[in-house]
Amino acid sequence: MTAEAPLKAVGLGKSFTTGRSELVIFRGLDLEVRRGEKLALVGESGAGKSTLLYLLGGLDRPTSGKILYEGDDITRLNEQRLADFRNRTLGFVWQTHYLLPEFTALENVAMPLRIRGVSAEEAEERAMERLREVGLEARSHHLSGELSGGEQQRVVLARALVGNPKVLLADEPTGNLDTQTGERIIGLLAEMHQHHALTSIYVTHNPAFARRCDRVLELIGGELAIREIA
């Protein structure tokens, strides 16, 4: 692995057993993600894009192959070390926000730091900094149900960044938003990518979003191919 490719999948395979048959999502897949790049993963529904993102994020384990981060195979980590890796190294943005409804925006953003063992005072201070970045300081004490869809997604972005991750993984981050709100989220993702020196991987069906990335790969028949977006 070179210093320019901190995240790498080697011979990656994922399959599921259904009854007597085996459903193969992909097998022998190789991928290098360059440091600092914005990579878009595209493809038809069911092609395995989200599955690949889950594997790269250590949220699922491959059937075969390995995933290397800075040369270390994260597929060999036990559950506790893998959870710690996710908490300290990765940020996640999903199509569904998964905010805890009983907590405020500030408390939701602070949650990854509290899990890490950071004091409540420091966690909330850092959480407020991230909410300020995404323009939601004034809404920090509102419950998630009191926020619009776009505001909720900005809270998710703030939560993803509060732990100062190196890699941001986003699965259809604009999928549930209207066009105008989606454009604002795309702009924020680009700003945060640059400001926080991230390596970002986005799963998207949005061609306008994909066009703003440094590289676009399409998952077809279990293989990745370079895709030009018109």
Distance CA 198, CA 200 (A): 6
Average pLDDT over residues 197-207: 95
- Give the list of residues 6+ apart from residue 19 with CB closer than 8 angstroms, or none: none
Kindly state whether residue 213 falls inside one of the protein's structural domains.
Answer: yes
Identify the DSSP state of 143.
Answer: B
**Domain-embedded: residue 13:** no
Residue range of the domain that includes 51: 36-62+78-226
* 17 falls within a domain: no
Q: Does residue 154 sit within a domain?
A: yes
Domain containing residue 139: CATH number: 3.40.50.300
The model's pLDDT over 135-144, given as tens digits with 9 standing for 90+, comes to 999 999 999 9
DSSP letter assigned to residue 229 = -
| pLDDT, tens only, 203-223 | 999 998 999 999 999 999 888
Residue 9 is assigned to a structural domain of this protein: no
List of residues 6+ apart from 85 with CB closer than 8 A = 58, 69, 74, 77
Answer whether residue 1 shows pLDDT above 90. no
Contacts of 48 (CB under 8 A, 6+ apart): 14, 25, 26, 219, 222
Tally of structural domains, the chain: 1
Whether residue 58 lies inside any domain: the answer is yes
Residue 72 lies in a domain: no
For residue range 58-83, list pLDDT tens digits in order. Answer: 999 999 999 999 999 999 999 999 99
Asked, for residue 11, whether it belongs to a domain, the answer is no
Read off the pLDDT of residues 15-33 as tens digits, 9 standing for 90 and up: 998 888 888 999 999 999 9
Query: Residues 3-18: pLDDT tens digits?
Result: 578 999 999 999 998 8
